[in-house]
A and B are shown apart, each in its own frame.
Chain A
Amino acid sequence: AQSVTQLGSHVSVSEGALVLLRCNYSSSVPPYLFWYVQYPNQGLQLLLKYTTGATLVKGINGFEAEFKKSETSFHLTKPSAHMSDAAEYFCAVSASGSNYKLTFGKGTLLTVNP
């Protein structure tokens, strides 16, 4: 079974500051890891994903995340926050042979202050 823990249900940053959203996972088999973003009144859309290969993955809108197996982490970062980054972010995990099931964390609401 897989699980995800997102540290901090709400993160507030100033425009131009570093964004760091934390995600730790638990998986008994090699995981696939994902970050999704949800803007108000919309569905989720994929930001980035790690399946195999390079552990630093880049996504849309300047976000990136690093898979650290030893720390069971997959934290999301962006060097400089924009007002448009304000949204809810979800970390998710699945196993490569999981019958296609994705397990989501509880989400982190990012607020960007001017």
Chain B
Amino acid sequence: NAGVTQTPKFQVLKTGQSMTLQCAQDMNHNSMYWYRQDPGMGLRLIYYSASEGTTDKGEVPNGYNVSRLNKREFSLRLESAAPSQTSVYFCASTPSGYTGELFFGEGSRLTVL
């Protein structure tokens, strides 16, 4: 059972480069999320997709874009990476009939030099 799969697990970028973090879930969940985790800051919501075809901004959306490609996949794009985007990024999903239980991937550690 794969659950939520994120790629890549590690990435180093130079300032100004672009990249896309990929996320896929195989649990037939409706809602998907991208969070970033920084030391002492907890997890902060970047974007979420309540259902296929919809996306909404979270708490810290600046510098990011997302695409809900289909029900399974939700990607996060950094168009012009900045050192402030150095973080660990987590994708999560939750089924319909919202209960608040999120299922997380293992994270993608991004360093921007």
Query: Which chain A residues have a beta carbon within 8 Å of chain B's beta carbons?
Result: 9, 32, 34, 36, 41-46, 49, 51, 90, 92, 94, 99-107
Contacts and interface: CB of A to CB of B under 8 A. Distances in A.
Contacts of B92: 43-44
A94 B100 contact: yes
Contacts of A42: 106-107
Interface string B25-37: 0000001010100
Given A9-B40, A51-B100, A100-B50, A44 B56 contact: no
Interface size class of B (residues with CB under 8 A): 20 to 34
B95 to A, nearest CB: 11
Given A99-B50, A100-B50, A46 B58 contact: no
Contact of A104 (B31, B42, B98, B101): B42
A83 to B, nearest CB: 23
B90 A43 contact: yes
Contacts of B105: 43
Given A43-B90, A49-B101, A106 B45 contact: no
A43 B98 contact: no
Nearest to B106: A43
Contacts of A41: 106-107
A76 to B, nearest CB: 15
Contacts of B99: 32, 49, 51
B41 A106 contact: yes
B102 interface: yes
Nearest to B101: A46
Given A51-B99, A100-B50, A101-B48, A44 B42 contact: no
A12 to B, nearest CB: 17
B75 interface: no
A103 B41 CA distance: 12
Contacts of A36: 102
A90 B42 contact: yes
A11 B8 CA distance: 33
A106 B42 contact: yes
A42 B90 CA distance: 10
